[in-house]
Structure 1
């Protein structure tokens, strides 16, 4: 059973500059969401990150809220928290797949996101995974986001060529007779 397996967990990164984290939570199962928030906040505290929390109606709205925040606010990372418990219809599959796909697409655009949306068969599975004293999936999602922030900061000052233009080559903007000034 997966709950009894041993997993390697990376040490939390350390930061010289402050980290601003946004937790976006769908509190459909409020007690489970509250446990996940507690775990995520505790992990953020360990590295001195500041945390804001917003609630959305359901797991499908989490990627939209994170996308909006990335354009309209100033956060270093995002933690997606929610719980989807299998029911009697295929709606479970839609919610699981589409919320995950939305977060993945945002991540591929460069956002630092920890996905803590639980997808479980029943409530007892969710309770164990959400409990900060047990599997602490909220804390794990926060840790994932923090690790991505550390990577983005590590690579922030590196430059690569853009498209087919090798790095350092001069370029001209359409309509200009001389290249742009490099003041």
Structure 2
């Protein structure tokens, strides 16, 4: 099936290069390596830096990003992996729950590009991961970079919005 032409936003620009964490589930090593190559090239193209960590599977990607968000100083995150449909409903669970976890972290303010491929066949994964093909690793990095740029445009988060925990109240006293 031929791909449809689509609009791509211009590359994000930065006065100071962002630092990103690439979190990859390398279950399909060759696919993961292509996704990583695309993501790294995109980050480096804007003057950014990156670290890469591996986790056991796609379900662990949101948890690793959540831990890093609390304990490290990254500007954004790139989630990479591949889930290929099998004979059981495990595919739906992994696809839905990893995506939901990433979305929830994003709604909490983390800048995340989701490059977890969800495909029917290995051939589909290869086309999507190939840096000379659809280059979805670069696309995920670009999404994170655009969110970081947006956040920098709007400045730091404002305090006093929403509910504060008792610990937050005590810290502000």
- TM-based fold match above 0.5: yes
| Aligned counterpart, 2:145 | 146
| Aligned counterpart, 1:136 | 135
- Describe how 1:151-170 pairs up with structure 2 within 5 A: 151-157=150-156, 162=161
1:15 matched to 2:14? The reply is: yes
- Separation in 2, partners of 1:158, 1:67: 18
- Separation in 2, partners of 1:75, 1:163: 24
Q: SS at the partner of 1:23?
A: strand
- Separation in 2, partners of 1:104, 1:49: 23
| Aligned counterpart, 1:96 | 95
- Separation in 2, partners of 1:159, 1:109: 13
Distance verdict in 2 for CA 1:83–1:163, change over 3 Å:
closer
| Aligned counterpart, 1:122 | 121
Question: RMSD of the TM alignment (CA)?
Answer: 1.8
Tell me which moved more, 150-159 or 140-149: 150-159
Distance verdict in 2 for CA 1:5–1:24, change over 3 Å:
same
1:157 to partner: Cα distance: 5.0
Q: SS at the partner of 2:58?
A: coil
Q: SS at the partner of 2:16?
A: coil
Q: SS at the partner of 1:95?
A: helix
1:37 matched to 2:33? The reply is: no
| Aligned counterpart, 1:110 | 109
| Aligned counterpart, 2:166 | none
Q: Which stretches in structure 2 are left out of the alignment for 5+ residues? A: 164-168
Specify which structure has the higher proportion of helix: 2
Could you list the structure 1 runs, at least 4 aligned residues long, displaced by more than 3 angstroms after superposition: 157-164
- Separation in 2, partners of 1:42, 1:9: 17
Distance verdict in 2 for CA 1:160–1:60, change over 3 Å:
closer
1:162 to partner: Cα distance: 3.5
Task: Tell me the TM-score normalised to structure 2 length.
Answer: 0.91
